[in-house]
Amino acid sequence: MGEAEIRRSVTRIAHEILERNRGGGEVALVGIAARGDDLARRLAAEIERIEGVPIPVGVLDITFYRDDIGYRAEAPEVHETRVDFDITGRIVVLVDDVLFTGRTIRAALDALVDFGRPTAIQLAVLVDRGHRELPIRADFVGKNVPTRRDDDVRVAVRELDGEDAVDVLEPVPAPAVANSEPSDRSNGSDR
Amino acid sequence: MKKHLLSIHDVTAEDIVRILDTAESLREVGTRVIKKVPALRGRTVVNLFYENSTRTRISFELAAKRLSADVINFSTSGSSVSKGESLKDTALTLQAMGADAVVIRHSSSGSPLTLTRWVRGSVLNAGDGTHEHPTQALLDLYTMREKLGRLEGLRVAIVGDVLHSRVARSLSFGLVKMGAEVTLVGPPTLIPPDAPAWGVDVSYDIGGVLPKLDVCYMLRVQRERQRQQYFPSVREYARLFGLTRDRVAMLPEDALIMHPGPMNRGVEIDSDVADLPNSVIEEQVTNGIAIRMALLYLLLGGTGADGADAGEAA
Amino acid sequence: MTGRILLRGGRVVDPAAGRDEVADVLISDGAIASADGPTTGATVIDADGLVIAPGLVDLHTHLREPGREDKETVESGSRAAAVGGFTAVSPMANTEPVADNAAVIHEVRALGERAGLVDVFPVGAITRGLAGEEMAEIGEMVEAGVRIFSDDGRCVPEARVLRNALTYARAFEGVVIAEHCEDGSLAEGGQMHEGEHSYALGLAGQPREAEEVIVARDLAIARLTGGRLHLCHLSSAGSVELVRRAKRDGLRVTAEVTPHHLVFSDDDLVTYDTNFKVNPPLRTPEDRQALGRAVADATIDVVATDHAPHAVEEKEAEFDRSPPGTIGLETALAALLTQLVEPGTVSLTRAIDALSTTPARILGASDHGGPLEPGRVANLVVFDPAAEWTVEPPFASRSRNSAFLGRSLRGRVVHTIHRGSLVVADGKAQR
């Protein structure tokens, strides 16, 4: 996806959120760090532009709720969590950049529940790349992008990476040279 | 990061930044209604405290529990520890219980390192003899960074009985590693002879040092040091090196006053000084929990296998 | 009495300025003035044939006040000092009460100021009560102006205590720890030097090793701590050797010897004369010669009197009941001149250096020891190097226990000028 496509997706998702939830009155957005929060802020700004309703935005780091702590070589990197409002009684829309196995969202649901009891939790993602390992589905999708399991989906957001882009990269084949070490390609952001 | 945290030398400057950043995120957990994250669920953390220290032990206990780990406390009173069971036998028992991490405080320098020979989990030094106290140093670095926005180029004085202070050692090494300028102040009898090799300055004149400080870190001076003849009297010590009200007036306005606790009010620090606004002594305690959570998370959050060598060279 | 004084035509020996020449010295309002300055109204003193030198400084003396005013007071001791050509003295701390806190220091200094004859620089104790266990309040005494600390009378028994004192003292500029080197277990019961004389006389002796083991120990501790050490009243050739080697190694150590150790030996004790009973004891002629040579080559930096007044009845007691010590303020200069300068072992300049310039430097007494230059406070001694006299009472000191009693000496103090005042004129104290 290019910059224009991303912008259109964000606008469309904003409209869909308003439609589905009968205006933005009870809605709050919680973006999943990293990049999900930048997208959440953009969505909130769009919604306010369209409807004139200010939407509270929080950022959630799900590192401590991951199911693979202790299975990786190093403890995963931690980001900021800030949810300054009460989520109890609200419709919380989780926002993330890529929906893949669904484990990140499972962790986010666990985390959210520790903050309060929302009326409902919905999910908005920029890209759904398939290969679900848990029964999780998105309510709002920017674009469905079929991928192979070991493809690398790279999302760049202006706020963090300087540009807006979604790229799908195929894995680099190992060079066929005698006595070479197997290429140490780290897995894509398998969150 | 290395598998164990025995000394501040076990972490690089990059590691320290990572630890402080992680602690920043974890501090937020303490502000939630449910002060828990499941990160270390199912792991067992053992507090092995041979020295009485309710404050530090509770800090570690809370840290582990907020990460959803199971906590076992071995302390000196009552348990097999006081019945004279050797460190080795205690370690083997912990091993059999499947301890993932052992936090040890001991009056003999080097005990944490010895422990690593007999337990398979991670060992965290909560203070060994007069050797090191790395978690205290890290929480102090965190407090300084949080209040002053940086560590590099900070001018810090560590005042008091440096010779017997494991906190002073760890903190000095840590500050130098992060590019701060450290001056040790105290009577010559309480400054270790090898101090110049630490990359620090030494001064015997507190009045000359105070006006140029960002942080004034006071160490506890035990009265028994006077009995051991390191200085003539508590009165003379307080007069020459104590942080009195008059001396505080010599500090720059934004300078921090810190103390690892417990304080000897009236000896190294006047009572009303400890309660001044630029004294961050209470916050040091709060930050302690976040730092210890960060350490437990970083030490136990990976498998440790290959993790010690890949990426960051420790 | 701070008008003008003109000393005319004397031999000015001023080691700090490297001077040894005949010249005039003009004193005006307490300070040395330029020799071409106005001389109207000046008291003119003919110094032809006399030596003009910076006033002598005694690093080691006992003034006995507070506590034993029967033996000496600060005033009588000051008078004895002035008569002997001294303008500054350092009284040791073994008074009653011990000078181990600022209060006693202030008291002794005030007594000296009231007497107005010499500058008194009290020495502070190293340990509380001289008990050798707890450090005295050194910092407090430094604030009261003390620079030299000593438990003299006693040796610091434990190396650890000395180590702590030397280390602690490093926090203070210019502070020196002065040690009386005597191993209690070896010296115990000793009345004189252990040697053929002590055996012949039937008196218990104290070997020179009693001093040497402590000298060696203290030098090692000085090396360990980097502190400033001063060794009091050395008595043995072995000690001199140890100091020589330590200085070669760059240690910050200075050493001291008394006039009586330079003049006498255990030969002199055959009459059981208690005036020769001193601590450390007079040792063999070989030791005495080694000490003299050490003064010449400055291995021993300073000559100090260890002026130790004792009551008449105490010294008239049986030998082993008698306290050790000899007075020495009034005879120090003459003794040195007679015994070492005249035979040529030590130059006059070095002698003045050892009695004035170097002790002033160690003490940090910047108004003493020279150089005798315009603007500097006028503390001077004028003496006749040729005058012959016999040492006999009356003494300016309250006590009479002088090892030099009856001895003929060459060299006598004529005038002593303290802060521009003529406190001793024609050999007599003016106050």
Chain B CB contacts of A111 under 8 Å are 37
Q: What is the pLDDT of residue B80?
A: 53
Tell me whether strands C428-429 and C421-425 are parallel, antiparallel or unpaired: antiparallel
Helix or strand or coil: residue C3? coil
Q: What is the pLDDT of residue A176?
A: 63
Chain C CB contacts of B187 under 8 Å are 168, 171
pLDDT at residue C1 is higher than 60: no
**B105 assigned to some structural domain:** yes
Q: Do C30 and C75 belong together in one domain?
A: no
**B312 assigned to some structural domain:** no
Cα maximum dimension of chain A: 64
C142-167 pLDDT, tens digit per residue, is 999 999 999 999 999 999 999 999 99
Shortest CA distance to C258 belongs to which of C238, C235, C229? Answer: C235
Q: Do C69 and C109 belong together in one domain?
A: yes
Chain A CB contacts of B306 under 8 Å are 73
DSSP B51: S
CB of B260 within 8 A of CB of B136?
yes
Lowest mean pLDDT among B70-84, B158-172, C19-33, C214-228: B70-84
C275-290 pLDDT, tens digit per residue, is 999 999 999 999 999 9
Q: Do C9 and C130 belong together in one domain?
A: no
Label residues B270-294 b or e (16+ Cβ within 10 Å = b): beebbeeebbbbebbbebbbbbbbb
Lowest mean pLDDT among A63-72, A125-134, C282-291: A63-72
For residue C306, the distance in angstroms to the closest alpha carbon of chain B comes to: 27
> Domain span at residue B213?
134-281
User: What's the token pair of residue C99?
Assistant: 């000078």
Q: What Rg, from alpha-carbon coordinates, does chain C have? A: 20
Q: Do B99 and B21 belong together in one domain?
A: yes
Q: How confident is the model at residue B309 (pLDDT cuts 50, 70, 90)?
A: very low
Q: Put residue C150 in one of left, alpha, beta given phi > 0 → left and psi -120 to 50 → alpha.
A: beta
C190-230 pLDDT, tens digit per residue, is 999 999 999 999 999 999 999 999 999 999 999 999 999 99
Total residue length of chain B = 314
Rounded-to-integer distance, Cα C63 and Cα C74, Å? 5
For residue B161, the distance in angstroms to the closest alpha carbon of chain A comes to: 37
**B305 assigned to some structural domain:** no
Q: What is the pLDDT of residue A174?
A: 67
B301–A73 CB contact, under 8 Å: no
Residue A58, beta-bridge partner list: A30
Mean pLDDT for C21-46 is: 89
Angle A182-A183-A188 from CA coordinates, rounded to 5°: 135
Across the beta sheet with C56-61, the strand order is C56-61, C86-91, C119-120
Least CB–CB distance from C171: residue in B187, B229, B239? B187
Q: Do C18 and C129 belong together in one domain?
A: no
CATH of the domain at B57: 3.40.50.1370
B interface residues, C as partner, C-beta within 8 Å? 187-189, 204-205, 229-233, 235-236, 239-240
Shortest CA distance to A133 belongs to which of A176, A91, A101? Answer: A101
Q: Do C173 and C322 belong together in one domain?
A: yes
Q: Do B59 and B123 belong together in one domain?
A: yes
Tell me whether strands A165-169 and A152-156 are parallel, antiparallel or unpaired: antiparallel
Q: Do B146 and B273 belong together in one domain?
A: yes
Q: Do C317 and C302 belong together in one domain?
A: yes
Q: Do B66 and B32 belong together in one domain?
A: yes
Q: How many CB atoms lie within 10 A of CB A118?
A: 20
Q: What is the pLDDT of residue A177?
A: 60
Question: What DSSP assignment string belongs to C355-402?
Answer: IIIHHHHHHT-TTSS----TTSB--EEEEEEEEEEE--SPPSSS---B
What is the ipTM for the molecules in this complex? 0.80
Topology (CATH level 3) of domain A3-169: Rossmann fold (3.40.50)
Q: Do C97 and C47 belong together in one domain?
A: no
Q: Do C242 and C226 belong together in one domain?
A: yes
C168–B235 CB contact, under 8 Å: no
A75–B43 CB contact, under 8 Å: no
Mean pLDDT for A50-73 is: 87
Instruction: Name the E strands within B26-161.
Output: 44-49, 70-75, 101-106, 122-128, 155-159
Q: Do B275 and B156 belong together in one domain?
A: yes
Say what percent of chain C tops pLDDT 70. Answer: 100
For residue B3, the distance in angstroms to the closest alpha carbon of chain A comes to: 10
Size of interface B-C (CB pairs under 8 A): 43
Residue A93: C-alpha distances to residues A54, A110, A131, A165, A184 (Å): 14, 14, 22, 23, 37
- The crossing angle, in degrees rounded to 10, of helices B13-29 and B134-148 is 80
Q: How confident is the model at residue A183 (pLDDT cuts 50, 70, 90)?
A: very low
pLDDT at residue B201 is higher than 80: yes
Top residue of C128, C137, C175 to mutate, by most chain B CBs within 10 Å, is: C137
Mean pLDDT for B99-122 is: 92
Rounded-to-integer distance, Cα A33 and Cα A62, Å? 8
DSSP C124: B
CB of B24 within 8 A of CB of B17?
no
Say what percent of chain C tops pLDDT 90. Answer: 96
Burial class (CB in 10 A: 0-12, 13-18, 19+), C323: middle
Residues 6+ apart with CB under 8 A from B224: none
Mean pLDDT for C26-33 is: 93
Q: Do C39 and C59 belong together in one domain?
A: no
Q: Do B125 and B163 belong together in one domain?
A: no
Please give the distance of CA A136 from its chain centroid, rounded to a whole number.
13
C307-339 pLDDT, tens digit per residue, is 999 999 999 999 989 999 999 999 999 999 999
Q: Do C337 and C207 belong together in one domain?
A: yes
Q: Do C16 and C82 belong together in one domain?
A: no
Query: Which residue shows structure tokens 């008078």?
Result: C79
Of residues A167 and C289, more confidently modeled:
C289
Subunits close to B (at least 3 CB pairs below 8 A): A, C
Chains A and B lie in contact, requiring 3 or more CB pairs less than 8 Å apart: yes
pLDDT at residue A53 is higher than 80: yes
Q: Do B73 and B191 belong together in one domain?
A: no
> Domain span at residue C318?
54-363
Q: Do B121 and B138 belong together in one domain?
A: no
Q: What is the pLDDT of residue B76?
A: 66
Residues 6+ apart with CB under 8 A from A22: none
CATH of the domain at C21: 2.30.40.10
Residue B33: C-alpha distances to residues A116, B28, B66, C95, C106 (Å): 9, 11, 12, 71, 66
Residue C418: C-alpha distances to residues B203, C26, C333 (Å): 39, 14, 17
Of residues C393 and C2, more confidently modeled:
C393
Q: How confident is the model at residue A159 (pLDDT cuts 50, 70, 90)?
A: confident
**Rounded to the nearest 5°, which phi and psi values hold at B188?**
-55, -30
**Rounded to the nearest 5°, which phi and psi values hold at C383?**
-135, 160
**B256 assigned to some structural domain:** yes
Helix or strand or coil: residue B181? strand
Rounded-to-integer distance, Cα C171 and Cα C369, Å? 26
Of residues A175 and B262, more confidently modeled:
B262
Q: What is the pLDDT of residue B227?
A: 76
Q: Do B146 and B127 belong together in one domain?
A: no
Task: Quote the pTM value.
Answer: 0.83
Least CB–CB distance from C168: residue in B189, B205, B235? B189
User: What's the token pair of residue A79?
Assistant: 């980001």
Tell me whether strands C408-418 and C380-390 are parallel, antiparallel or unpaired: antiparallel
Question: What DSSP assignment string belongs to C391-423?
Answer: --SPPSSS---BTTTT-EEEEEEEEEEETTEEE
Say what percent of chain B tops pLDDT 90. Answer: 56
Q: What is the pLDDT of residue A178?
A: 56
A76-87 pLDDT, tens digit per residue, is 888 888 998 999
For residue C220, the distance in angstroms to the closest alpha carbon of chain B comes to: 16
Rounded-to-integer distance, Cα A72 and Cα A76, Å? 8
Lowest mean pLDDT among C32-46, C139-153, C235-249: C32-46
Total residue length of chain C = 431
Lowest mean pLDDT among B23-32, B102-111, C188-197, C386-395: B23-32
Angle B266-B272-B275 from CA coordinates, rounded to 5°: 120
Residue A148: C-alpha distances to residues A182, A183, C235, C247 (Å): 21, 19, 97, 83
A73–B303 CB contact, under 8 Å: yes
pLDDT at residue C50 is higher than 90: yes
Chain B CB contacts of A73 under 8 Å are 302-303, 305-307, 310
Rounded-to-integer distance, Cα C305 and Cα C84, Å? 11
**C397 assigned to some structural domain:** no
Chain B CB contacts of C172 under 8 Å are 204
Q: Do B145 and B275 belong together in one domain?
A: yes
DSSP C284: -
Shortest CA distance to A90 belongs to which of A67, A65, A120, A62? Answer: A120
Which residues of B are designated catalytic? 55-56, 83, 105, 133
**B14 assigned to some structural domain:** yes
Number of domains in chain C: 2
Q: How many CB atoms lie within 10 A of CB B70?
A: 16
Mean pLDDT for C363-387 is: 96
Least CB–CB distance from C135: residue in B229, B235, B240? B229
Mean pLDDT for A104-123 is: 92
CB of C195 within 8 A of CB of C205?
yes
CB of C304 within 8 A of CB of C58?
yes
CB of A59 within 8 A of CB of A33?
yes
Which residues of C are designated catalytic? 306
Mean pLDDT for A122-129 is: 94
B232–C160 CB contact, under 8 Å: no
Is the peptide bond between B112 and the residue preceding it cis, with omega within 30 degrees of 0?
no
Q: Put residue C190 in one of left, alpha, beta given phi > 0 → left and psi -120 to 50 → alpha.
A: beta
Q: What is the pLDDT of residue B82?
A: 56
Shortest CA distance to C208 belongs to which of C151, C255, C265? Answer: C265
Q: How much is the mean pLDDT over chain A? A: 86
Q: How confident is the model at residue B304 (pLDDT cuts 50, 70, 90)?
A: low
CATH of the domain at C73: 3.20.20.140
Q: What is the pLDDT of residue C306?
A: 97
Shortest CA distance to C179 belongs to which of C102, C239, C115? Answer: C239
**Rounded to the nearest 5°, which phi and psi values hold at C214?**
-75, -35
Q: Which of residues 292-311 of B touch A (CB under 8 A)?
A: 297-303, 305-307, 310-311
Lowest mean pLDDT among A66-70, A103-107, A120-124, C133-137: A66-70
**Rounded to the nearest 5°, which phi and psi values hold at C338?**
-65, -45
**B311 assigned to some structural domain:** no
Mean pLDDT for C414-420 is: 96
